[in-house]
Structure 1
Amino acid sequence: MTTVGRKSGAIYTDPAAPVEERVTDLLARMTREEKLAQLGSAWAFSLIEGGQYSAERARAVLRHGLGHVTRIAGATSLKAAQVARVANAIQRFLVTETRLGIPAIVHEEVCSGLMAREGTIFPQAIGVASTWEPELNRRLADAVREQMRAMGSHQGLSPVLDVVRDPRWGRTEETYGEDPYLVARMGAAFIRGLQGASLAEGVIATAKHFVGYGASEGGLNWAPAHLPPRLLREVYLYPFETAVREAGLQSVMAGYHELDGIPCHANRELLGDVLRGEWGFAGTVVSDYFAVEQLHSYHHFAGDREQAAALALTAGTDVELPATDAYADALAGAVDAGEVGEEKLDEAVSRVLRHKFELGLFEDPYVDEGAVAAVVNAERHREVALETARRSLVLLKNDGILPLRPGAGTIALIGPNADNARHLLGDYSFAAHVESLAAARERQGLLGQMMTVPDDLETEESTDGLPTVRDELTARLGDRVRFAPGCDVIDPSRDGFDEAVAAAAAADVAVLVLGDRSGLTTRATTGESRDRSSLDLPGVQEDLVRAVVATGTPVVAVLVAGRPVGGDFLHENCAAVLSAWLPGQTGAQAITEVLLGEVNPSGRLPISYPRTVGQIPVFYGHKVSGGRSHWHGDYVDSPVSPRYPFGHGLGYAPFAIELATLDRAEVTAGDSVTVEVTVANTGDRAGEEVVQLYIRDPRATVTRPVLELKSFARVSAGPGRRAAVRFDLPTGQLGFYDRDMNYTVETGQIEVYAGFSADNRTLAGTFTITGDADRPRAGKAYTGTVSVGEPPQVTTSPA
C-alpha cells in the first residue's frame, strides 16, 4: 500500500500548519471511498478475534480508513491494557497500511464513568445531579477523560442533556432531572471536564439526545415528543444551547424520536437552522446507534437505506454509529443519484477530519500500554466516586430514627438490593452492557436483529470485589446485623418473606434496601428501553414492606433505584426513606456512612417525586393555569402536589434562612441584580445545604411558569454558624420567547425567592426591569456568578 507520508511534503502532515489548511489539503487528496469511510464506524469486535486484534479482519474493514471505532472497551471483555493494545494496533494499521494514513476516533460510553471492564463506576447521572455541585461533576468528567485517553479513546457519548418530567421513562436515571437550568449547569461542567483545556489532551463530549427525547409519549423509549415551539426553546433546547455557547461542546447526538412528524436525524431545521445556524455549532453530529437506517425500518420516513442516508446527511448528521449500515454503498448511491450533493459529503468529512487534527491523532495516535494500569480506576478516581456518592444521597423522610445510634441494638438488613453490588450500578455500566450484548447474541429483540456479537464475549457480571451494603454494614457492626433478602427485585416469589419477617421482629430496627435493577435486558426494571407503567416497587417488594412494617419494628427504607419509586404505604409508614439512586462502585460505603451518621446526607432532588403515575407529569415549573389551583384544586383521589418537591432533601443538621435581600428595586435591562442570602445551621453538628434561587415573572406578554430556578449554591457550616451567599442575577437570564418567537427581556416586575426547595422558600424581594423591552437574542445570559463566604458570626443556640 502506498501511503502519503511526511516526506511527501503534504500540508496535512505538517503539525505546524493551521488546522483548516490541513483539512483542506487532506480533503482534496481523498477518493470518494475514503471520504465515505470517514463518515462510518465499525464495532471493535469486528476487528478482534479470540480476544486479539485481527490483521485479517482489519484489512477487510479498514482498507479505505474509518471515521470511528465503536467501544473497544465497552463492547468487548478486554481489560484496560488489552484495550490500549488493540487501540494501538488499529491505529497502526490505519497509519501505515492505508493510503492517506488517517487515524480513527475511538468512542466509548461514559454515562456513569468509562464503560470498561476495569473503569471506575461513578454514580448514575440522576444521582450526580442530586449533589447540585457542578464542580464535582467537572472533576468526575476529568477522571473519565484521564482513563479514556490512557486506553486510547477520544470521544465520550455523554452528557445526557435531556430534560425529563416523566419518570416512567427508563432513561430517567441517565439524566440530570427536570429543570433546564440545573441540567445546563451540570452538563456544562461535565463537558468542561471531559474536553479539558484543549482537545489535544481532552476527549470530545457528545451531548444527547437532540432534542426532547426525555419528553416521549407515554414515557416510552423511541416514542414521539409533543413539544410546542416555545416549550422546546425554553426548556428542552436550553441545556444544549448553553453547552454549545458557554461550554464549547464539540459533538451532538441526535435523538431516536420524532418531533412534529420529523425524525430528529432527518430534521434539517434542528440540526441546520438552530444548531449550526443560530448557535454557530462547528462540531460533529453523530447518529444514535442504528438511527440512520431506522429512518427507513423504524420511522418509515425513508423508502430505503439510500434515501435514509441522503435525508440524514442533508439534514446534518455527519457520522453513522455504531457500524456503517447506510453511510457506505447506500450513501454512495444517493450521491450518484443526485439525492445529496457532493458538497454535503465534503462538509461532513471536513468536520470529522478537523476533530482528528484537533485531537492530535496525526501526531500521536498511540498510547503507552504500560502506563494504563496506573490510571484506570486509580485511587484518586475512586475518591471522586465516593465523594459524589456521599453527596448524591437524598434523605427524603426521617422521623428521628436516623442516624442509627451506636449501641442501638440489632439491625435486620432486608431486601433484594442489600447484598448485590450489581444492583448499585446504572444501565451504562460495563456489567449491564455485557448482559445486553449477550442478549443480543441470543438474538433477543430488536437489538439482536441489528447486530452481531462475538461468541468469545465473557458475560460474567464483573462486580467481583465491589462491596455491598451488607458488607459495609457488617464490617462496622458485626453480628448486630442479621441479613435476610426477603425477595428478588422482579421475581414474584414470596418464599423469603417468613425469614425476613422473623429477622425484623427480633431486631431493634429494620433496614430495607429495595428498588431497581438497571440495565437494557428483560431482567432490568430501569434503564434504556425499560419503561414502566407504575412507580411502585417492582416485583413483590411493596408486599415485603407491608410484611416487615407489620412487625412493629421501625423501618428505614433505602431505595436503590433509577427514578422516583415507592407507593403510599412505603413512604407513609417507614420511619425514614433514603434515596440512593444508583450510586456506583462506592455506593454501599456511602449508604452505610449516611445510615450510621458518619456522613451527613446533603443530596437534593433534581426531579419532583410523584405520588402516583396518574399525576405525571408533575414538575415545579408549571404554569399558573396548570390545574393546581382550579375550583377544587386536588384530584378526587389524590393531592396534586408531589410527594416530595423539587430541591427537597433532609440532613442531620437543619438550616434556616435568616436574611434574603436585593441590592436594588429597579434595574435597566442588560444589568444585574445582587441577591444576598444568609443561612444558619441551627443544629448541633456540622452540615451542608443547597441554597436555591428562584424567580417569578407574575405578568408578561406570554404566560410564565410559577417558579424558575436561576441559581444555586452548596454551603457548609458548623453548628450555630452561618454562611453568606451572594448571587449575581443578570437580567439576560430572565427573558423568554415572545409571541414572535424572539428572545425578549421585558420591562416589568420580577419576584425573587431564596429557599431549600421549590416549596420551602422565602421572598427575597421584588425589582422592576426598566428600559428596552425588546432585548435581542445576543442579550441572553446563561448564568450569573455565585460566591459563598462567612458573614459576621453570631453564635446561636443549636435547636
Structure 2
Amino acid sequence: MRLTLFVFLVIGIIACSKEQSGEPAYKNPELSAEERAKDLLSRMTLQEKVAQMHCVWNDKAKFLLDTAGHFDVEKARKNFKNGLGQVGRPSDTKGGLDAYQTAVLTNAIQKYFVEETRLGIPVFYHEECLHGHAAKGATSFPQPIGLAATFNPALVENIFTLVAKEARLRGTHQALSPVVDVARDPRWGRVEETYGEDPYLAGEMGVAAVKGFQGDGSFKSGERVVATLKHMAGHGWPEAGNNIAPANISERVLREVFFYPFKQVVQRAQPGSLMASYNEVDGVPSHANKWMLRDILRGEMGFNGYVVSDYYAVRELADREGLFGNSVAANGDEAAKLTIEAGVNIELPEIDCFRNLDSLVQHKIIAESLIDELVVKMLEYKFRMGLFENPYVDPDKAKAFIGSEENRKLAHEAALQTITLLKNDNKVAPLARDKVKHIAVIGPNANRILLGGYSGEPTFYTTVFDGIKQKAGDKIKVSYSEGCKITTTSGWSQDKVAVPTVEEDRRQIKEAVALARTADVIVLAIGQNEQVSREAWSKEHMGDRTTLDLVGRQDELIDAMVATGKPVIAFVFNGSPLSFNNLVKKVPAIFECWYIGQETGNAVADVLFGDYNPGGKLPITFPRSVGHVPAYYNYKPAARRGYLFDDVSPLYAFGYGLSYTTFEVSAPVLSNAAIKIGDSVQVSVAVQNTGTIAGDEVVQLYIRDKVSSVTRPVKELKDFKRIMLLPGQQKTVKFTIAPEKFSFYDINMAWTTEPGEFDIMVGNSSRDQDLKHVLLTVNR
C-alpha cells in the first residue's frame, strides 16, 4: 500500500514539475492515455477539436500532395492549420506505393502535424486489412470466408499478428477489419469478407483477428494496430441480397444472431474501433441509431473505443448524388447532427457532412459537450499508440519485412488449412505421381490471379497451373487450356464487367477437349472471379447476384471434360456459395477453395498430390438453388418443411468437409447428466483416425433447447476444435459448456436460461447423420 502511494506521489511530482517547467501534462508519458487525452482536450479550440473528426482519402491528392504524389507542406499549412484526425490509405497514393515509399510518405505527412501544428497532434493513418494489408507488396492470405473454413482461431490470430506488423511498419495505425457480419444471404456480394453464416463461428474468428491486430492492447511493441470491428449491424442479411438494403430483422434475431459476434469481440478482445453499417434496421439507418450505437454497443456491451462511419454513409442519411439517400436528413448538416448524436466519432473518408461542425456548435445546433465526448476517445488512442513519443517509422525495416519470403510460410499454411474436400468418389484424389504422366489443367481459373476483394498486390503469386507444373517436376507433363472465360474483363475495383460471346467460349471448349484427350487426368479450375461476386457500391459497380449458378459456359465445359472419359478433379474458387449441381452430379472429386491468397497454386498442388490432407469445413451452407435461400443450418423448426418437386436439404451443409482419411467420433459423454441453472458441464468424445493417412478433423458441438418459451433453432454451434491425428491415433476432445451457452432471449426479451432438457450433439458437420446425441437436464 505504501509502495503504491509512493509511486503515485512520484508520478504526481514529475507531472507537476513538467507542468511548472512549461511542459503541458499531455506531453508527459508517465501519465495514462486517458489523463493525457483529457488534458489535451482542455487546451484545444473548437476548430482543433472538429479537425480531429475529419479525414481525407482521395482528397489527399488535393489537400496534402503535389502532382507527383509527394507531400506538399505548403498545401498542408493552407488546409490543415488546426490539425487533422485521419488520412485514409496512404499506400494507394498514385496507384500504389511500395513499403519503403509508403513509410517515407507517412513520415513526411506526420512530420508536419507533429512539428508545425499548434498542439502537435499526430495524424492517424487507416488502411484496409481484410485478409492482408491491401497494399503493394504486402502478404496476401485467404479471404475471411476461407479463413473461417479452417475452424482454427489460433491460425487466424497468427495471421493478423503478421498483417498488423506489415501495416504498422509502413505507418498504419488503424485497420478497417475484421468483418463479423453474419452472412445469411449467399446472393450478397460481400459474403467473402465475412466468417460465414454462424454467429458463434464469426465471434470466435473475430476475437482471434482483433487479438492478432492489437495484441495485449498496449501497442508498446510498435507492431500492432487498432482493429475496427465491422459493420454494426444486420449488414449480412440485406433485403433481396442487395448490398446496403434494409435488414428486416426482429430485435430477438438481431440480438441473438447479428449482435452476438460484436458482443463477443467487444467483451473479450476490446477492439479500439468499430464501424457502423450502411443498412437500416426497423427504419433507422445504423449511423443514426442511438439505440444501437449508444444503448447496445456502449451501454450493454461495454464498448470503450471510437466509432467510425463507413465511407460516405453520413452523406447517405440525406441524399448521395448518383446513388440514393435514406432521407432521414434534409442535408449534410442535419446528417451530421444525427450521426454525432448517435455516437459516431469521425466521418470517413472525406471532409463532407462534418465540415460545418464548428458552426453547428456555435449556433447551438450541436452541443460542444458531444464533440468533446467523441474527440477525447480518439485522442486517447493516439496516446495509446505512442504517437506523441514515436510518430515515425523506419522505411528500411518496412522494406525488409513486408511481403518477405519468410512471411510466405504462414500464407501457405493458411491456404492449405482453408481447402475443403467436398467429394472424392473412388478416391480419385490424391494423384499418385508414379501413375500419372500427363495432367491437363483446364478452366477459366487455372491460370488467373484470384485474390478477391480488398486485396493488395502481393510480391509472390502462384496460379493453379504454375503450382501444379512446379510440383509435378520433369517426369509429369502439365498442359494448360483456359476452356472458357467467366469474364473478359478483370479487377475487383473496376466498374465494367464484360462477358465472352458464345462463339468464343465454345471455340475454347473445343480446344480444351483436344488437349484433355491427350492427358491422363483433368484438373478443372472453375467458379467465380473477383468481378462476379463483390461489394456493390454504385449503380455502375454491381456485385450482388440473382442466381448462384456457375457464370457463363462453365457447365458446358464440365460436360465436355466429363465426356472425354478422363478422371476429372475440380478445384472451385469463389467468394460466395454456388449451386453447382451439375458439377456435383458428374465430377468425382471436388475441392472448395474460396480465394486462398498468394500461395494458391502451391497449396492446390500440395493437396492434389497428397502432400497435404485437406481438413477444411464449410462455414456457410451451399443451397441447391437460389430458390432455396435462405438456407442457413440453424433454422427454426417450421422453416424447412419441404418443396414440391425438389429436395429441401442443402447441396452441402454448414460444417461439412471430407478428408483423404476417415474419422470415427464416439457418442458424447457428459460429466453430469443433470445440472442446475448457472452451472457448467463437460462433454467428452473420443475421436479416432480410422484411415491410413494423417489428417485434421474439426469436432463440432451443437445444442438444442428442446422446449422453450419462444421457438429456438433446431441446432446451434456452441464450440469446435480442430485436431490432427496420425493413422490409428485416438484423442479425447473435451468441451466445457458454460451457462451462457444455454441462454437466449425469452418471451419477455430477458436473457435467461430456462430449465428443461437440452439435446447435446457432437460430430463433424451440422448434418443430422453426422451428429451423435446425449440428453442433458437443466434444473432450477
TM surpasses 0.5: yes
Give me the whole-angstrom Cα distance separating, in 1, the residues matched to 2:374 and 2:607: 50
State the shift of 1:749 in Å: 1.0
Partner of 1:387: 413
Residues 74 and 109, structure 1, Cα contact 8 Å, conserved in 2:
no
How does 1:331-730 map onto structure 2 within 5 Å?
Answer: 331-399=357-425, 400-406=427-433, 407-421=435-449, 424-430=450-456, 462=457, 465-477=460-472, 478=474, 480-490=477-487, 491-492=499-500, 493-494=504-505, 495-518=507-530, 523-529=531-537, 530-626=543-639, 628=640, 630=641, 634-730=642-738
Segment drifting more, 101-110 vs 492-501: 492-501
Distance in 2 (alpha carbons) for counterparts of 1:465 and 1:158: 23
In 1, the alpha carbon distance for the partners of 2:536 and 2:161 equals 25
Which residue identity lines up with residue 576 of structure 1 in the other structure? A
Letter in 1 for 2:439: I
Contact 1:118–1:376 (CA<8 Å) still a contact in 2? yes
Is the partner of 1:362 in helix, strand or coil? coil
CA contact (8 A) 1:173 1:527 kept: no
Superposed displacement of residue 587, structure 1? 1.6
Tell me the distance in 2 between the aligned counterparts of 1:688 and 1:246: 27
Once the 2 structures are TM-superposed, how far is the Cα of residue 497 of structure 1 from its aligned partner?
Answer: 1.2
> Any conservation in 2 of the 1:536–1:542 contact (CA below 8 Å)?
no
Q: CA deviation at 1:665?
A: 1.0
Question: Unpaired segments of 5 or more residues in structure 2?
Answer: 1-17, 320-324, 488-498, 538-542
8 Å contact from structure 2 (residues 100, 398) kept in 1: yes
Q: Distance in 2 between matches of 1:714 and 1:586?
A: 22
Residue equivalent to 1:149: 168
* Corresponding residue number in structure 2 for 1:84: 103
Supply the distance in 1 between the matched residues of 2:458 and 2:514 (Cα, whole angstroms): 30
- Cα deviation 1:419-451 (Å, max 9, x = unaligned): 112xx2020102xxxxxxxxxxxxxxxxxxxxx
**Pairing partner for 2:115 from 71, 96, 110:** 96
Residue 349 of structure 2 corresponds to residue 322 of structure 1 = yes
Q: 1:305 to 1:6 in 2, by over 3 A?
A: farther
Deviations 1:194-250 (A, max 9, x none): 011223333111010100101100111111101000000000000000111111121
Q: Which of 58, 71, 76 is the matching residue for 1:58?
A: 76
User: Is the alpha carbon distance of 1:6 and 1:250 closer, same or farther for their aligned partners in structure 2, counting shifts above 3 Å?
Assistant: farther
Aligned partners of 1:207 and 1:6: how far apart in 2? Answer: 41
Name the SS for the 2:366 alignment partner: coil
Contact in 2 for aligned 1:426/1:527 (Cα 8 Å): no
**Per the alignment, in what secondary structure is the counterpart of residue 312 of structure 1?**
helix
Contact 1:169–1:532 (Cα < 8 Å) also in 2: yes
What do you get for the CA RMSD once the two structures are aligned? 1.6
**Counterpart Cα distance in 1 of 2:343 and 2:409:** 40
Count matched residues: 725
Secondary structure (helix, strand or coil) at the match of 1:496 reads helix
Question: In 1, are the aligned partners of 2:190 and 2:533 still within 8 Å (CA)?
Answer: no
Following TM superposition, by how much is the alpha carbon of 1:524 offset from its aligned partner in structure 2, in angstroms? 4.5
Tell me the distance in 1 between the aligned counterparts of 2:326 and 2:521. 53
Contact 1:751 1:766 in 2 (8 A): yes
Shift of 1:476: 2.5
Alpha-carbon distance in structure 1 between the residues aligned to 2:336 and 2:415? 42
Whether the 8 Å CA contact 1:74–1:108 is kept in 2: the answer is: no
Check the 8 A contact 2:129/2:177 in 1, yes or no: yes
- Residue of structure 2 in register with 1:790 after alignment: none
Partner amino acid, structure 2, of 1:667: I
User: What do the CA deviations read for 1:512-562 (whole angstroms, capped 9, x no partner)?
Assistant: 1012221xxxx4443455111111111222222122222222221111110
Task: Give the equivalent residue in structure 2 for 1:123.
Answer: 142
Q: Distance in 1 between matches of 2:777 and 2:770?
A: 21
CA shift for structure 1 position 6: 11
Shift of 1:303: 0.3
TM-score (norm 1): 0.89
Shift of residue 259 of structure 1?
0.7
Determine if the alignment matches structure 1 residue 113 to structure 2 residue 140. no
Aligned runs of 1:714-793 on 2, under 5 Å?
Answer: 714-759=722-767, 760-771=769-780
CA change 1:168–1:9 in 2 (3 A) is: same
Question: Which residue of the partner structure matches residue 65 of structure 2?
Answer: 48
CA distance in 2, matches of 1:573, 1:769: 48
Deviations 1:592-637 (A, max 9, x none): 11111110001000001111000001011001111x2x4xxx3123
Q: Match of 1:379, as an amino acid?
A: E
Task: Name the SS of the counterpart of 2:621 in structure 1.
Answer: coil
State the alpha-carbon separation in 1 of the partners of residues 517 and 424 from structure 2: 21
Per the TM alignment, residue 61 of structure 1 is displaced from its structure 2 partner at its CA by 3.3
Q: Which residue of 1 aligns with 2:184?
A: 165
Partner AA of 2:29 in structure 1: P
Compute the displacement of 1:464 (Å). Answer: 6.8
Take 1:592 and 1:636, find their aligned partners in 2: how far apart are those partners? 42
CA contact (8 A) 1:557 1:574 kept: yes
**Following TM superposition, by how much is the alpha carbon of 1:389 offset from its aligned partner in structure 2, in angstroms?**
0.5
Inter-CA distance 474–18: structure 2 relative to 1 (3 Å threshold): closer
Residue correspondence of structure 1 range 179-194 to structure 2 within 5 A: 179-194=198-213
**Using the alignment, how far apart are the partners of 2:406 and 2:745 within structure 1?**
44
Distance in 2 separating the partners of 1:765 and 1:565: 34
Q: State the SS of the aligned residue for 1:57.
A: helix
1:30, CA displacement in angstroms? Answer: 0.9
Ranges in structure 1 where 5+ consecutive residues have no aligned partner: 431-461, 772-799
What is the TM-score when the length of structure 2 is the normalising length? 0.91
The whole-number CA distance in structure 2 between the counterparts of 1:564 and 1:508 is: 30
Aligned-pair CA distance for 1:732: 1.9
